Chains A and B, each alone.
Chain A
């Protein structure tokens, strides 16, 4: 792959309800932040990719409503309906295809729709939708399959929430910085067994943007570029019953491809910090395994031993992760933005010392149907 870099990032603060700002405003806020961060003006932006979903926005062809907010006036603008990491993957393709620079911006306001109704609509209307499944109840089915396959306990899953909400205290953008204990998670309200309120990510409003540039344009940016070493995507079957829900097969495949591009042989040793899409506590355990940081079934042990905590050999979600702020679609792009901050040494009190290689990860579809893996490097 020709060299390409991330040269600018912008995030809003993630909040339960941003009543004073419409989603257009959020897109404008992060677009201008990413351009300032890169030291670019609109003339430096080759083309624009917006990431949105019609159901979350409550408007068809939702992308058309944010073009002026995204700096896309008179530019080549196109859209990804899916996680922000997939928008970024398309953006990388545009850059490799000769755009020079591509701005990718993702937004959602979970507070404005009904997440249960919206996520129910991702299921097949003939066979599954009338059962009333949504993002939480379907994920509970995956947690059940995973935990029974590997003998993982609810307390072990709760450790992820404890760690990530604590990490969020160091992230000014996070929605839910909290000091909580495993006992707090265990006694929180039952939603769908084994998932309890504190096992689940919140509903959030927010947006994130990044700018990707080829080598020539990256050299013009204000800050040192963060290089894209590998990026890959893989999807599993649509029907949950067709999948082995206890394994993240498509993550394993995406990671394998991204590591091959990046020349990573031993991810647990070579990745210094990771930002993962932990929509639920159990997911982080599964994704650790899918990414090859440990053996299948080893995610709980790895977490218990403190390896993924700040100060451990591979801190996972120093930002607090998706458990601490979940603006759907923007959340994957936020993982990339955080992975960039870590390599620039700009992560403030959530900085992982000496990070040279970081990993960002996003998911799309029920129970992590598809995964997108990014490996970023300082040099």
Chain B
């Protein structure tokens, strides 16, 4: 340490970067989010090569590297089984719920990949293997949070 530092204070410069974006959701994502908003339906799409059904839907199958066909769209869920879960114990300014609430990955009926969302109630009953169902919001705007949460069945 330099000798002149002995009598100096170290200053801190506080700041924040807040950058607005307007991300295009794209054609595939828009069809999915419009499905949530207008029909309360969760749409996935199926690869005609390997047979995997994706949700959220995709442009292409990452495994087969193959376009997902127009006729591969289908409704999945709204029920499914929890494949992993965590009860969050601390509040975060980014979370859509106050702690405690849970994150879950749900294998929706008819889908082959997991779908991430939250569970708000009956957390003591939450475990890998329990069945849950999507609960939609009354006021929907074309967002993943048009699904309010998943409820334990």
A and B co-occur in one complex: yes
Chain A residues engaging chain B, CB cutoff 8 angstroms: 19-20, 58, 116-117, 120, 125-134, 137-138, 140-145, 148, 189-195, 237, 239-242, 245
Give Cα A129 to B113, complex, Å. 18
Give Cα A54 to B33, complex, Å. 30
A30 CB → nearest B CB, Å:
18
The reply to whether the CB of B84 lies closer than 8 angstroms to some CB of chain A is yes
Q: Give 6 nearest A-B pairs by CB, closest first.
A: A241-B114, A132-B95, A140-B86, A145-B84, A132-B94, A144-B84
The reply to whether the CB of B103 lies closer than 8 angstroms to some CB of chain A is yes
On whether the beta carbons of A133 and B116 are closer than 8 Å, the reply is yes
Q: Which of B58-105 contact A (CB under 8 A)?
A: 62, 83-90, 92-96, 103-105
Give Cα A239 to B117, complex, Å. 13
Give Cα A132 to B118, complex, Å. 10
On whether the beta carbons of A130 and B143 are closer than 8 Å, the reply is yes
Category for how many chain B residues contact A? 35 or more
A239 and B84 in contact, given A130-B96, A130-B143, A132-B96 (Cβ under 8 angstroms): no
* One of B5, B54, B86, B96 near A20 (C-beta < 8 A): B5
What are 28 A-B contacts with C-beta separation under 8 Å?
Answer: A19-B10, A19-B12, A20-B5, A116-B92, A126-B25, A126-B29, A127-B29, A130-B143, A130-B145, A131-B96, A131-B103, A132-B92, A132-B94, A132-B96, A137-B88, A140-B103, A141-B86, A141-B103, A145-B84, A148-B127, A148-B129, A191-B90, A192-B86, A194-B86, A240-B105, A240-B116, A242-B54, A245-B84
Chain B residues engaging chain A, CB cutoff 8 angstroms: 1, 5, 10, 12, 15, 17, 21, 23, 25, 29, 33, 54, 56, 62, 83-90, 92-96, 103-105, 113-118, 127-129, 143-145
* One of A19, A120, A125, A245 near B23 (C-beta < 8 A): A125
- On chain A, the residues within 8 Å of B87 by CB distance are 192-193
- On chain B, the residues within 8 Å of A133 by CB distance are 103, 116
Give Cα A116 to B114, complex, Å. 23
* One of B29, B86, B116 near A241 (C-beta < 8 A): B116
On whether the beta carbons of B144 and A117 are closer than 8 Å, the reply is no
The chain B residue with its CB closest to the CB of A242 is B113
The chain B residue with its CB closest to the CB of A128 is B116
- On chain B, the residues within 8 Å of A140 by CB distance are 86, 88, 103
B68 CB → nearest A CB, Å:
14
On whether the beta carbons of A240 and B114 are closer than 8 Å, the reply is yes
A239 and B113 in contact, given A131-B118, A140-B86 (Cβ under 8 angstroms): yes
A357 CB → nearest B CB, Å:
35
On whether the beta carbons of A20 and B113 are closer than 8 Å, the reply is no
Give Cα A148 to B10, complex, Å. 48
Give Cα A163 to B63, complex, Å. 39
The chain A residue with its CB closest to the CB of B143 is A130
A123 CB → nearest B CB, Å:
9
On whether the beta carbons of B143 and A58 are closer than 8 Å, the reply is no
* One of B62, B86, B116, B117 near A193 (C-beta < 8 A): B86
Give Cα A190 to B85, complex, Å. 15
Give Cα A58 to B14, complex, Å. 11
The chain A residue with its CB closest to the CB of B101 is A132
A203 CB → nearest B CB, Å:
14
The chain A residue with its CB closest to the CB of B52 is A242
On whether the beta carbons of B10 and A131 are closer than 8 Å, the reply is no
* One of A19, A131, A148, A237 near B117 (C-beta < 8 A): A131
- On chain A, the residues within 8 Å of B93 by CB distance are 116-117
On whether the beta carbons of B116 and A131 are closer than 8 Å, the reply is yes
- On chain B, the residues within 8 Å of A245 by CB distance are 83-84, 105
On whether the beta carbons of B94 and A120 are closer than 8 Å, the reply is yes
A62 CB → nearest B CB, Å:
12
In the complex, given contacts A191-B89, A239-B56, what are 6 additional A-B residue pairs having Cβ atoms less than 8 angstroms apart? A117-B93, A138-B103, A141-B103, A145-B128, A192-B87, A241-B114
- On chain A, the residues within 8 Å of B145 by CB distance are 130
- Of the listed residues A141, A144, A189, A242, the one surrounded by the most CB atoms of chain B closer than 10 A to its CB is A144
Give Cα A239 to B94, complex, Å. 19
A134 and B84 in contact, given A145-B105, A241-B115 (Cβ under 8 angstroms): no
